[in-house]
Copies of this chain bind each other. A is one copy, B any other.
Amino acid sequence: MSKEQFFYKLSDQAQGISRDLAPGLKTRIFPGDQAMLSIVTIAPNAEGQLHNHPEEQWGVMLEGSGVRTQGGEDVNVSVGDFWRTPANLPHRFKAGSKGALILDIFSPPREEYRKPGSGFSKD
């Protein structure tokens, strides 16, 4: 194994597989064998549409704030909050006035996210 293989930086925009999820929502995808990380940058007040998928998801709020909607309820979240989204539970996120940086974790990996693309689901 070459040194620093498997090592990355949250701030390095050149790393990961780029994906535009929605207007103002961009992510960089890091696929593993059992889990996949997604570093999502969200512009101020930008929001994604309600969607769901069979993979379990976890989210960790790294910067900013916003509203996480899942299971039909709205929860205000800010830096240091994290949450679990069980398989198939509809969810969305709307950033606050300063935007947001979120680490999302998918398990198993979302196969459609292994290549560059756009949108929240298969395309």
Q: Are B8 and A34 in contact (CB under 8 A)?
A: no
Q: How many copies does the complex hold?
A: 2
- Given known pairs A1-B71, A56-B33, the reply for A86 and B7 (CB within 8 Å) is no
Beta-carbon contact of B11 and A60 below 8 Å: no
Query: Is the CB of A81 closer than 8 A to any CB of chain B?
Result: yes
Q: Is the CB of A35 within 8 A of B71?
A: no
Number of A interface residues at 8 Å Cβ cutoff, please give it.
Answer: 39
Complex alpha-carbon distance, A34 and B105, angstroms: 10
A123 interface contact, C-beta 8 A: no
The chain B residue with its CB closest to the CB of A84 is B6
A14 at the interface (CB under 8 A from B): no
